[in-house]
Amino acid sequence: MDATDAKLSFEAALAKLESIVESMESGEVPLAELLAKFEEGTKLLKNCESRLKDAELKIEQLKKQKDGSVAFEKFDAGREG
């Protein structure tokens, strides 16, 4: 991942990834460009996954109980699949 992608916010990286997927799905992208977009998309996906994992760890730390145990609760993001 290059420095520019690493500095993107989660939301910006996700929007860029969605844009890449849409352009790839259009079927109008030449093969060489398709491969470059796939590589860029893979890097952005790893960036997003890393940021989500970091957020998950922070949430778990915030939910620690007074006795030091962690209370895991199902998180509903409110998204419909």
pLDDT in tens, 48-76: 999 999 998 888 777 776 666 766 666 65
Residues 45, 14, 38, 25: is their CA dihedral positive or negative? positive
Domain extent listing, the chain: 3-62
Write the pLDDT tens digit of every residue in 10-59: 999 999 999 999 999 998 889 999 999 999 999 999 999 999 999 988 88
39 phi and psi angles, rounded to 5 deg:
-65, -45
Contacts 24+ apart (CB under 8 A), 50-53: 51/10, 51/13, 52/10
Tokens of 2: 């290059």
CATH 1.10.287 is held by the domain 3-62: yes
Q: Is the pTM of this model over 0.85?
A: no
Backbone angles phi, psi at 64, to 5 degrees: -60, 140
